[in-house]
Structure 1
Amino acid sequence: MASKPRSEVDMRNSLFHADTGISRISDHLYAGALTERWNALSGTPNGGYSLAVCLQALKQEMLKLDFPDPLAVSAFFLRPATPGPVRVHTEIARAGKRVATGEARLWREEQEIVRVVASFTDLAQAQGPTLMLNRAPDLPPVEQCVDMLDGKGMPGVSIAEQLHYRVARLPGWVQGKPGGESIAEFWMRYADGSDADTVSLAALVDAAAPVVLDFGERGSSTMELTVHIRARPAPGWLACRVSTRHVIDGYHEEDFEIWDSLGQLVAQSRQLAVLHRATG
C-alpha cells in the first residue's frame, strides 16, 4: 500500500466548504447557515452536513492547539434541521500532547439541533504499529462503473446533486425492485470535482442512500453517528462500503467505510437510525 499523504487537501473553493463555512462572533461562539443544497430523503438538511458545520467551528478552536484533524467524533441529532442561520457554541474539555477533546452544539431558531463531542489530533504526525485485517472494496475502475442515478438525481434529495456515485451494477431499489442486499459498495466524489478533507469525511459517511432502501424501506433518519477518521485522504475518487445487519423494532445500525485513491482506509463510522415508516 502506498504511503499516506501528509498534507491536507485545500477545499476553500469547494461548495461543501462554502456551505459549511462559519465565522467567529465571540469566544467559543460561531455563526453560519444551513442551506437547502444538502437535503436528504427526509427533505431536511443531511445529518452529516449539519455535523460538518459543528466540526468547522470546533476546528477553529483546535487549530489554536495545533490539532487540525478530527479523530473520533460522536454526534447526537436532537431535532430535524431546517435551512437558515445557525450558531455553534464550542467548548474545549481537555488538551493533551497528542489529542484535544471538545464539544460543539448547533442551534437553530433557539433550539439545539445537534450536539457533538470530538477529539482532534494532527494525523500528519500519527505513527505507531499498523495491522490491516480488512481490504478496500473490490470495485472496477470508475470509468467502467455506472452512474447510480443516471445523472437524474432524486426528487427532493438535493444532496444527490452535490455528489457523484458510481457502482459496478445498479442496486435493486434504483430499478424499483428491492433485492434485499445488506451491503453496498460504490465510488463517491463531490460533483464539483473538489477532493475530500478530514472534516468532509465525517459528512461523507452519512452522504449515501441508506442500505435499507433495498429492503423496500422509504429511508431512515440518523439518531446518533460515531465517526473515526483514520488518515488524511489522497485526492481522487473514494471507494465506499456500507452495510446494515440488524433491523430491530424500527431501528437499524449502518456501518460505513471510506477508502481513498491510494487504497488506504481514511474513515469508518457506525450510526443508529430509525426507519421513516416507524416515525409515520
Structure 2
Amino acid sequence: MWCARGSRAIAAPPGARRSVAVGCAMIGVRERISMTTTAHAFDVDTASTPVGEHVYALELTDRWNTPAGTANGGYLFAVCLQALAREVPQPDLLSASGHFLRPGTPGPARVSTETARIGRRTGTGAATLLREDREIVRVLATFSDLGAAQGPTMEAGVAPVLPAPRECVDPHEGRDRGDGIGARVEYRMPELPGFFRGTPGGATTWEFWMRFADGREADPIALAALVDAAPPVVFDHGIGGSSTIELTVHIRRRPEPGWLACRVSTKHLVNGFHEEDFEIWDSSGALVAQSRQLALAF
C-alpha cells in the first residue's frame, strides 16, 4: 500500500504504497540469493533459515517499512521467493504471482513452501508467509534457467528514452529519506512529477531510472521486488493511497549491471480499483522484467 504520508519506495513525498500483505545470504540447495560478495541489505533482509521440512524462519525487518509502519509488498514477495528458490533446482525466477492478505510488520515470521512440479526446463512451487500464525502473502512461482533459454524471439516494445542518470532529478534531494524503504532504493527522473510538488499533473505513465541505494546489482528475484518499489502513477491524479491486492511478475532475462530504466503506467481506475503495469529494462537496453498488479486506490 502507498498512502498520503509516503510509502512503497519514496518516504518523503506527499504520497506512498504499503502492502496489505511478512544475516547474510543463507546456504541451501545452492547459493543464489546474492550476485555479489557483499552483504547488501536486500540479501540480508530476505534470507531465511530452514527450521523444518519445507519451513523457513526469519525476522522481518523495519528496514523496508513504509512510513505507515508496515513492510513494502515487494520485500514480502522477495522473502517468499528466496525461500522457494531453495526448493527447486532451476536457478532463475521466471514468473511469480502473489496475493497480499494482511499487512506485514517487523518481527518473527516463517515461510512454508511446497513443490508442485519439477520439470526439465521449469520448476514450480508455492510459498506462504506467516506472521504470528496469520497468513500475510501467498505466492505461486515458476523457475527456469534464463542463461540457457533459447527459442523463437520477437520484440515490439521499446525501452524508455531517458537522459543519463546524472542529468536527471533525484526526487529525494532535500528530503528526509527515513530509515525504511526510502533509504533502500534510489531513483532519477527527467523531471519531478506534479504530485511530488503537491500539484498532481494527471500523468498516466512515468519513466525513470532505479537501483538499490547500496550498490547491489539486480538479479531476477530482486527485479520481482523492484517492480513494487516506486510510487503509483495514480498519485498524479490526486489519489492519496493505493493498496496492492495481487501482483504478477515475469522475468525475461538476467539483468546486466547498472541503472535500470523503468516505465510504470495505469490506464484504468474503475470504482477504486486500478491496474499498474511496470517494465524494467537493463543497462544494455534489454527488457528484463514485466509486471501487472491490481490495487485499490483510496
Written as runs of structure 1 = structure 2, the 5 A alignment for 1:16-165 is 16-40=42-66, 42-62=68-88, 65=89, 67-153=90-176, 158-165=180-187
What 5-or-longer segments of structure 2 have no aligned partner?
Answer: 1-33
Select 1:233's aligned residue among 255, 261, 265. Answer: 255
Counterpart position of 1:188: 210
1:120 and 1:102, CA in 2 relative to 1: closer, same or farther beyond 3 A?
A: same
Shift of 1:229: 0.6
Post-superposition CA distance 1:235-266 (Å, at most 9, x none): 11000000001111111100000001011111
Written as runs of structure 1 = structure 2, the 5 A alignment for 1:265-276 is 265-275=287-297
TM-score after normalising by structure 2: 0.86
1:83 and 1:153, CA in 2 relative to 1: closer, same or farther beyond 3 A?
A: same
Distance (Å, rounded) in 1 between the aligned partners of 2:110 and 2:79: 10
Distance (Å, rounded) in 1 between the aligned partners of 2:83 and 2:174: 33
Post-superposition CA distance 1:179-200 (Å, at most 9, x none): 0101000000111011111111
Q: Percent identity?
A: 57
User: Is residue 282 of structure 2 the alignment partner of residue 246 of structure 1?
Assistant: no
One-letter identity of the residue aligned with 1:165? Y
Post-superposition CA distance 1:62-115 (Å, at most 9, x none): 1xx2x0111010000011111111100000001111001100000000101000
Shift of 1:220: 0.5
Distance (Å, rounded) in 1 between the aligned partners of 2:48 and 2:67: 25
Q: By percentage of residues, which structure has more helix? A: 1
Shift of 1:219: 2.0
One-letter identity of the residue aligned with 1:86? A
Post-superposition CA distance 1:36-78 (Å, at most 9, x none): 111236431011100100000001111xx2x011101000001
The answer as to whether partners of 1:11 and 1:195 remain within 8 angstroms in 2 is: no
Counterpart position of 1:198: 220
The answer as to whether partners of 1:153 and 1:161 remain within 8 angstroms in 2 is: no
- 2:151 aligns to what SS in structure 1? coil
The answer as to whether partners of 2:69 and 2:105 remain within 8 angstroms in 1 is: no
What 5-or-longer segments of structure 1 have no aligned partner?
Answer: 1-7
Post-superposition CA distance 1:9-49 (Å, at most 9, x none): 33652111111111111210000121111123643101110
Following superposition, which runs of at least 4 residues in structure 1 exceed 4 angstroms of deviation? none
TM-score after normalising by structure 1: 0.91
Post-superposition CA distance 1:146-202 (Å, at most 9, x none): 1022152456x8211111110001100011110010100000011101111111100
- Bigger shift: 86-95 or 42-51? 42-51
Distance (Å, rounded) in 1 between the aligned partners of 2:58 and 2:138: 16
Distance (Å, rounded) in 1 between the aligned partners of 2:285 and 2:109: 37
Select 2:199's aligned residue among 153, 174, 177. Answer: 177
- 1:125 aligns to what SS in structure 2? coil
Q: Give the number of equivalent residue pairs.
A: 265
- 1:17 aligns to what SS in structure 2? helix
Counterpart position of 1:4: none
The answer as to whether partners of 2:244 and 2:296 remain within 8 angstroms in 1 is: yes
